[in-house]
Amino acid sequence: MPYLFTSESVSEGHPDKVADQISDALLDNFLAFDPESKVACETLVTTGQVVLAGEVKSDTYLDVQNIAREVINKIGYTKGEYQFSGDSCGVISLIHEQSQDINQGVDRGSKEEQGAGDQGMMFGYATSETENYMPLALDISHKILHTLAEMRRENKEISYLRPDAKAQVTIEYSDANEPQRIDTIVVSTQHDAFDADDEKMLAKIKSDIISILIPRVKSQLPADTQKLFDDQIKYHINPTGKFVIGGPHGDTGLTGRKIIVDTYGGKGAHGGGAFSGKDPSKVDRSAAYAARHAAKNLVAAGVATEILVQVSYAIGVVEPTSIYVDTYGTSKVGLSDGEIARKVAELFDMRPFAIEDRLKLRNPIYLETAAYGHMGKQPRTITKVFESPYNGRIEKEVELFTWEKLDKVAEIKSVFSL
């Protein structure tokens, strides 16, 4: 019997994502001026206020207030009527030095012997149902909000948009786990106050989302996915009514509260650790990226059509405590999941420093991950510029989303005789 599956995404202006982006901007600046920095930075945003807290070990000093303000302004919180603006909000820093009790288990005489920054388990997932090996409902949800943000900045076809928004997509699957159609799309978007009455305002927003935004999103998708859009889709657009009060003024935001949006939209699994604000010695982040890298390359190589990879660690211990694989019965190689896991352990070195080195994680590459998902984006090389009153100006060429590269496919095919 067909079944429904739902994933959601949130915009870069959602309060929790504002917090994530500030935390990752701080991390990037620390890594730009001192690549060996150890950072665990949390952010809270609320009406007119930003609170920065966390632990840092670094040889550099930053103007953290200015970095936070720049992020907020770039997102689009630039007007007084938003009750939260980069130019006028208060920024309180409670950042202090990292505990030596933690650091002693991470730093070693040899980088290769670097211990894990924490215990825990991390998951990577991939599926063949999309070109970027991501779950389809989440991929469409991300595209809806990324396109909505583009239209907000263009300020042409839809001119009343504000930064805060959420989207949710429900897809109908067959018994064979193949997408059949889109059942429901939910979009809630913050907007300017209208002169018209509420009913007219809501009717215009609904019409604009369905007739302007959705066709633009649809045009970005492959032909087989476009066929899933039909005239029977149920739309819920701003279902609670007007949405003028939003962002950090409407809802307090915290770093690390959107871990499912950041990963696989509820598909696969999640170990519970957030990403943003953490340097790569924290395996919550680096090992989750490494597990995604493994899962994506395994699916791309044809080992299975859907794969979950789990890796786990003990704090201060170099070798992972376990590597687990679940192919959901889709394996194409005639091996058990346990046998596949043993080959994964041989193919992918999951020691913390090996992950950092292989995926080039000690670079300022993290702000770009902090909205619209850490997984599924296109790897690319860009030049980033960092300026500091204490450290001067630095330009760095960095490679983004290295864990999305399909650079192990040939080796995997050889090992699995594909």
Pick out the residues of the known binding site: 14, 16, 42, 55, 98, 164-166, 242-243, 251, 257-258, 274, 278, 282
Q: In sequence order, which residues have a C-beta less than 8 Å from that of residue 277 and are 6 or more positions away?
A: 20, 23, 24, 26, 27, 39, 40, 41, 42, 43, 54, 255, 256
Tokens of 54: 């966390």
* 14 contacts 164 by C-beta, under 8 angstroms: yes
Reference 376, options 168, 173, 138, 24; nearest CA is 138
Residue stretches of the annotated binding site for K(+): 42
Reference 179, options 139, 137, 221; nearest CA is 137
Tokens 């599924």 correspond to 376
DSSP 60: -
Residue 268, beta-bridge partner list: none
Q: In sequence order, which residues have a C-beta less than 8 Å from that of residue 304 and are 6 or more positions away?
A: 298, 327, 328, 330, 331, 332, 333, 340
Sort residue 395 into left (φ over 0), alpha (ψ -120 to 50) or beta: beta
Helix (H, G, I), strand (E, B) or coil at 136: helix
Tokens of 295: 């899962």
Instruction: Tell me whether strands 90-97 and 49-57 are parallel, antiparallel or unpaired.
Output: parallel
Q: Give the span between the Cα atoms of 326 and 310, in whole angstroms.
A: 9
Residue stretches of the annotated binding site for ATP: 14, 164-166, 242-243, 251, 257-258, 274, 278
Q: Give the span between the Cα atoms of 154 and 146, in whole angstroms.
A: 12
Residue stretches of the annotated binding site for Mg(2+): 16
Q: Where are the alpha helices (DSSP H) in 227-336?
A: 247-250, 259-262, 283-301
Instruction: Tell me whether strands 322-326 and 380-388 are parallel, antiparallel or unpaired.
Output: unpaired
Q: Give the span between the Cα atoms of 333 and 315, in whole angstroms.
A: 34
* 292 contacts 322 by C-beta, under 8 angstroms: no
Rg of the chain (C-alpha set): 22
State phi, psi for 313 to the nearest 5 degrees. -140, 160
Residue 184, beta-bridge partner list: 170, 234
Residue stretches of the annotated binding site for L-methionine: 55, 98, 251, 282
Residue 40, beta-bridge partner list: 55, 278
Tokens of 46: 């609320």
